[in-house]
Amino acid sequence: MEWYFEQHLEFPFTQKVRARKAAASIATYGEVLFKHVFQDNKDVYAEFKALLKVGLEQVQIEVTGSPKFHALHWEALKDPELAKPLALQAMMVRRNMQPPPFEVSVQPASTINLLIVTARPYGMKDVSYRT
């Protein structure tokens, strides 16, 4: 998966056979993960099916657990009966129940540095960043 999401996307026109196999393995992984989550819990699966009728765009999937639990590729979670993974249809949020402790010390300064990230999907047709 690492190759597919990191290296292949830089040069998507090379190694097409390997890319197709990687994409298929991600779909398979997501379907297996889905079965593990829902197979033994018919009530949860019934609730999921009811949510499908409402529309998954109204659903938030929250992944909460240990670091080992978070190591699973939850974004690949896919119902075998649906065309796309759930992360492309519903909001998916990861939540760390025990965030690592860290200390922050702020020093007084006369300036504030801001990093502003702006989507510019239309390139030169977008409003200039200085306006």
- Cα of 77 vs its chain's centroid, Å: 10
Which pLDDT value is given to residue 130? Answer: 63
Q: Is residue 124 part of a domain?
A: no
Which pLDDT value is given to residue 41? Answer: 87
- Three-state DSSP state, 95: strand
pLDDT by residue for the chain (131 residues), tens only, comes to 777 767 777 777 778 888 888 888 899 999 999 999 988 788 999 999 999 998 888 889 999 988 889 989 999 999 999 999 999 999 999 988 877 788 888 889 999 888 888 777 787 787 776 65
Which pLDDT value is given to residue 118? Answer: 76
Q: Is residue 17 part of a domain?
A: yes
Q: Is residue 94 part of a domain?
A: yes
Q: Give dist(CA 47, CA 51) in Å, integer.
A: 6
> Taken in order 49, 53, 55, 58, is the CA torsion positive or negative?
negative
CA dihedral 89, 91, 97, 100 (to 10 degrees): 100
Q: Is residue 118 part of a domain?
A: no
Which pLDDT value is given to residue 66? Answer: 86
Tell which residue, 18, 129, 37, has the closest CA to residue 78.
37
Residue 62 tokens, joined: 């929250």
Q: Is residue 123 part of a domain?
A: no
Domain count, the chain: 1
Q: Is residue 127 part of a domain?
A: no
Domain carrying residue 62: 2-100
Q: Is residue 95 part of a domain?
A: yes
Q: Is residue 53 part of a domain?
A: yes
Q: Are 93 and 103 contacting, i.e. CB atoms less than 8 angstroms apart?
A: no
